Amino acid sequence: MKTMISLLMVLGLTAVSTAHADVSQTYTKSCAACHDSGTFNAPKKGDVATWNRLNQQKGKEALIKSTRQGMPQMPAMGLCQNCTDKDFAELIEYMSK
């Protein structure tokens, strides 16, 4: 039984780290060009205060909608044409930390 619990814990941790790796890879491919440097006034990854303010002002759903529809300085869907709203939510969460 103890071995089974250990195995389930390892599998769970692997799934979490794989999901994090996928978000990280998607960020690098689709978001980093602007969000690492702040190009076109993009909120920088890791700028917790700015992301918290945006979340409070707009809310998560509006941030996702803005990403999907685009903004004057960002094309619709950013650079991730196959991302879902769930993906955008994960990317926003990833950038806000």
Residue ranges of domains in the chain, CATH in brackets: 23-96 (1.10.760.10)
- pLDDT reported for residue 57: 97
Are the CB atoms for 63 and 91 separated by under 8 Å? no
- pLDDT for 17-71, tens place per residue? 345 569 999 999 999 999 999 999 999 999 999 999 999 999 999 999 999 999 9
CA 17 to chain centre: 14
Q: Tell me, what amino acid is at 66?
A: S
- pLDDT reported for residue 15: 38
Residue 71, beta-bridge partner list: 74
Are the CB atoms for 62 and 37 separated by under 8 Å? no
3, pLDDT greater than 60: no
Mean pLDDT of 61-87: 95
Q: Which of 30, 20, 39, 97 is nearest to 67 (CA)?
A: 30
Q: Nearest-5° angle of CA 88, CA 28, CA 39? A: 85
